[in-house]
Chains A and B, each alone.
Chain A
Amino acid sequence: MAEKSRELYQDEIDNLKAFRQKIDTKAIFKEDLDDFSNYYEELIAQAKVITRVSDRLQKKLDNANIQIQDQNVEIKDKNLELGTTLDQLAKAKVGKRASTILYTVAIGIFIVEQVFLEPLIEQKLAEEEVNVPYIGLMILAVLFILVKLLESSLEGYFMKKEKKRILEKEKSFKEDAKPAFG
């Protein structure tokens, strides 16, 4: 096995050391100079190739980085688009739920008004001998206006609930993903 603490340019360093030792001893011949100039020439050739190869591969990395940046921008745009679509979808879902509840409430109110409230009021008015035309319709109209006002606050409540649910889902997804990268 070769020595363990080798450096990247170990052979070249060894050649340089050997040449310097020869200079120190002053026992230097033309052959040594030829050898050293050959090593130097090879080192220049190596440096040229390594620089060229590295530049090429750096270009490859730069291109990959540019591609990643472009893809990141695209992903950001798609995420925004997705967020908007999800928001719209959630709104539609919440609106539908609120409408169903309100529709049920409205039917309930209509039945209560028709069965209990209207006969009671008509009886009271008859006792007082007061004639108010369309009293039943007026009561219904007031009640439905109140129900309509309730619709927006109901939608707001469901929307808040839906957002909370999405955030919790996202949080648990992130927690599940954590060990994979840890």
Chain B
Amino acid sequence: MEKIFIEPTRVTPLINFDPDEGILEIKGRSSPENSIQFYQTLMDALDDYAIKGQNALTANIAFEYFNTSSSKCLFDVFKKMSKIIDSGKDLTINWFYEEDDEDMMEAGEDYSDLLDLQFNFLEIED
């Protein structure tokens, strides 16, 4: 399984997926022109990880902002993460949000409730 590293831009987040270490990082802003194209590589990698992955996965997610199509892609990403749990591996999701950014925290809560996934909510201090 290959590592994925995508540099962040003004409209896309940093993506760092290291299957050997069992670490996934998604950080920044997400409003790409074509969200599905941007997240597809990661979704395919998570599908692979559910089958071939050896370790538990820790996902550190820290968004400043994401647009509507990205919110659908994130939903799909979390669904793939559910499959990782279904395959018997441990999954930790750390949802980081900036201090006083309740909207972002509640967005994480919405995903957590809908997909029945356990999120750790962590505030990033300025």
Chain A residues packing against B (C-beta within 8 Å) = 1-2, 6-11, 45-46, 48-50, 52-54, 56-57, 59-61
Contact = CB atoms under 8 A, between A and B. Distances in A.
Given A52-B110, A60-B104, A10 B71 contact: no
B107 A57 contact: yes
B36 A7 contact: yes
Contact of A57 (B35, B37, B65, B72): B65
Interface of B: 35-37, 40, 43-44, 65-69, 71-73, 75-76, 101, 103-104, 106-107, 110-111, 113-114
Contacts of A52: 110
Classify the interface of chain A: helix, strand, loop or mixed: helix
B69 A60 contact: no
Contacts of B73: 8
Contact of B40 (A2, A54, A57): A2
A127 B101 CA distance: 98
A49 B43 CA distance: 20
Given A8-B36, A49-B111, A60-B101, A54 B65 contact: no
B106 A56 contact: yes
A7 B67 CA distance: 16
A48 B113 CA distance: 12
A46 B69 CA distance: 12
Contacts of B106: 56
Given A7-B36, A8-B35, A53-B71, A46 B66 contact: no
Given A46-B72, A49-B114, A56-B104, 9 more contacts: A2-B43, A6-B36, A8-B72, A10-B36, A49-B71, A49-B110, A50-B75, A57-B104, A60-B65
Contacts of A60: 65, 101, 103-104
